[in-house]
A = this chain, B = another copy of it.
Amino acid sequence: MTGTDTVTAFSAAETAAMEAALEAALRGPRGANPLVGAVVIDADGRQLVTGYHRGAGTPHAEADAISQAESAGLDLTGCTIVITLEPCDHRGRTGPCTQAIIAAGIKDVVYAVDDPHDPAAGGAATLRNADVKVRSGLGAVEAFELNRQWFLAVATRRPFVTLHIAQTLDSRIAAEDGTSQWISSPESLADNHALRGRIDAILVGTQTVLVDNPRLTARDPSGTTAGKQPLRAVMGLRGIPADAAIHGDDGHVLHLPTRDPREALSLLYAAGVRHVMVEGGSRILSSFLAARLVDELIVYLAPTLLGSGTPALNGLGITTLADAMQWDWDPSGGGAVQTLGRDLRLHLRPEPIQALEPQPARAAAEPAMGGY
């Protein structure tokens, strides 16, 4: 939030619209782009259309709302648009939202938080130059919270990191003899492949390449390679065999000669990657978690037990329960808990770092429940 515009009053209708926009934003998937929702209200405060962003490469929330209005034959002239994030002013894979707003005749823009990419010359300035009234700060805390991991990734100039674990109930990712195909249900595998089609890069360790020899391509359920393929990145100091399946036909492979997850992310960022999915194995998963470099955790949980074999994680440097890594259930992009065939798909994001503000001791049982 910048400037004096933020010191302003918002109407009850605008506040209600922001709540609706925040809720709509949650329908979108996490990734290179933030979750954004937008609601257009008329002069009487009625909510006319609600839009949200469905992920990188699809229309922004404002464009989604405005195009819905066009399809419905609604005239938005003189209306107010309420958005969870400052409208963009650049032409990326989609047109600038500022132009869509101006073209629709919208005269009033209320947004929650600034787009961190270009705070000095962002969409707000362009809109004001076009005689659109712009106010910000409404729902700012909630809107920042909605995308806190994305803001962190942008601020630290690294890709947004999704980590994916396919495990048994007892958190094994392979049996004693190394077999792991397939712990997950076909529906979980298909979900994972659909996710591969939405990210910029997929990352595994050299160990995984040497042991499992994966292709790491995004394929649809018929086995057809999807149109958009993520960069296939391999992290580690060992070389990749010349005949490894990961080379594929397109040479769209990057070897990251490091064991440091932070360095790996720097290299990926330099290569243009804004959303990476870390797939394994245990050592890579653990190193990203231990470095607190995971923004989104997806666990495919199969209703099976192995009792032994390869644990999903092999050490996070945590020795006592009070230091356990805490996660929040993430309802965005389809829900915190979904059923995929016989598996559960669990969706989580890290709890905010507690040091930022004092919090009551968490997960402490009522004193009465002490002792078991």
Which A residues lie at the B interface, using CB under 8 A? 168-171, 174-177, 179-183, 185-186, 189-190, 193, 212, 214-216, 219, 221-224, 245, 286, 289-290, 299, 302-309, 311-329, 337, 342, 344, 346, 348, 363-372
Contact = CB atoms under 8 A, between A and B. Distances in A.
Given A181-B372, A308-B319, A311-B311, 9 more contacts: A168-B324, A169-B299, A175-B318, A182-B365, A186-B366, A221-B366, A302-B363, A303-B329, A306-B321
Most buried by B among A245, A342, A364: A342
Contact of A324 (B306, B313, B320, B368): B306
Contacts of A346: 169, 344
B176 A215 contact: no
B328 A303 contact: yes
A372 to B, nearest CB: 5
B171 A169 contact: yes
Contacts of A311: 170-171, 311
Contacts of A366: 186, 221, 223
Contacts of A170: 171, 311-313
Contacts of A308: 313-316, 318-319
B307 A315 contact: yes
Most buried by B among A190, A314, A369: A369
Nearest to A183: B321
19 contacts: A175-B320, A175-B323, A176-B318, A177-B319, A179-B320, A180-B321, A181-B365, A182-B364, A183-B324, A186-B363, A193-B369, A212-B372, A221-B366, A221-B368, A223-B367, A223-B368, A245-B371, A305-B316, A344-B346
A325 B304 contact: yes
Most buried by B among A183, A307, A363: A307
Nearest to A343: B363
B307 A313 contact: yes
Contacts of A328: 303
A176 B318 CA distance: 8
A322 B372 CA distance: 37
Contacts of A290: 307
Total identical chains = 2
B317 A303 contact: no
A220 B315 CA distance: 36
Most buried by B among A306, A309, A327: A306
Contact of A289 (B179, B307, B363): B307
Contact of A319 (B175, B216, B363): B175
- Top 4 nearest A-B pairs by Cβ distance? A223-B368, A307-B316, A171-B171, A179-B321
A305 B321 contact: no
Contacts of A181: 321, 365, 370, 372
Contact of A305 (B190, B219, B313, B364): B313
A287 to B, nearest CB: 11
B175 A369 contact: no
Most buried by B among A185, A308, A321: A321
Contacts of A326: 303-304
A306 B329 contact: no
A364 to B, nearest CB: 8
B368 A222 contact: yes
Contacts of A185: 363
Most buried by B among A181, A245, A346, A371: A371
A325 to B, nearest CB: 4
Contacts of A212: 372
